[in-house]
Amino acid sequence: MKVSQIAGFLGSGKTTAVMKIVDELMKKGHRIAIVVNDVGEINVDAKFIESHGLKAKEIAGGCICCQIAGTFSETLAKLHDSYNPEIVIVEPSGVAIPWGLKRAAEYSEAKADMVIEHAPVITLVDATRIDLLVKAVKRLVETQIREADVCFVNKVDTASPAEIARTEAMIREMNPKAEIAHMSSETGLGIEYACELIVNRISPRYDEAVEEELLKKQYGG
């Protein structure tokens, strides 16, 4: 089962993008489930998801390390057993840590007969609000950009060229390794490319081997 995280801060256009991506993937014949955490919009999402014959579950906010791990892995295991999706699109909270969700996703392997793969971690950055985001929630935005494989500069249809350039420069500064692409959830620009990434590319697993090495180094044994 492949897990695709589409991150971004509140108002970054995540929900619209997720729904368009899901529509597109379903048109291509993929079996999709969605896990959302945008608590303010869960009801809307749930209705949408229901109407599309998808399966929705929620994941928790709150404590970053343990609560999400248990809840999310349980959610994925249940999704696998009840619906067996090919791809699970995850719309995490703006305060979730992408590697934490990767690790939690892999925990679900112990709870169901499956192997987890990760699609590239996608982070949406709202070019029209970049100045506000940097002022208001810089640290959270930084965390999401730092851990992204691909950053989509979103809302490029309404952002000015200067805003787009500033957003790209900020992404490059925070995560020089991330690929940068453009999206407009409203017009559909970039949706096809996001789908291609999700289907055809892989992001590394949360590497327990690396963690083991670090722990060994720390403990000297």
Partner 1 sequence: MADMTHIERAMAGLENKPADRLMTYPIACGVNRKLIGNGITYREWAHNPKMYAQAFIEGQKKFDFDFAIGLMDLSVMAGDLGAHVRMDEQNTPFVDEPIINSIEDYEKLEVPDVKKGRSAVLIEGTKLYCDVLKSQVITAGFVEGPLLALTQSAGAERVFMDMFTNPSAVHRALAVMTDYDVEMTKGFGQTGCAGLCWDYLWGNYSCLGDAEYDEFEGCSKYALKLNALTLKEGMAVAIHNCADLPHLDTQIKKFNPSIYSMAYYPLIPGSLTASEVIAGGYADKTLVAGQIDPQLFIRGTTEKITQVTKDLCQEVKTALCKRGLNNSPKYIIASGCEVPPDIHTKMENIAAVVDTTKKYGKFDT
What are the residues binding partner 1 (CB under 8 A)?
9-11, 38-40, 42, 58, 60-67, 69-71, 74, 93-95, 97, 99, 107, 110, 132, 135-137, 139-140, 143, 206-207, 210-211, 214-215, 218-221
User: What is the rounded distance in angstroms from the CA atom of residue 72 to the CA atom of residue 149?
Assistant: 21
Q: Smaller CB distance to partner 1: residue 115 or 219?
A: 219
Cβ at position 62, least distance to partner 1 in Å: 5
Strand 2-8 versus strand 122-126 pairing type:
parallel
Nearest approach in angstroms of CB 162 to partner 1 is 22
Judged by beta carbon, residue 140 or residue 181, the one nearer partner 1 is: 140
CB closer to partner 1, 27 vs 113: 113
User: Cβ closer to partner 1: 5 or 143?
Assistant: 143
| Contact of 88 with 95, CB cutoff 8 Å | no
Place of tokens 């897990």: 3
Nearer to partner 1, 72 or 191 (CB): 72
**Shortest CB 142 distance to partner 1, Å:** 8
Shortest Å, Cβ 218 to partner 1: 5
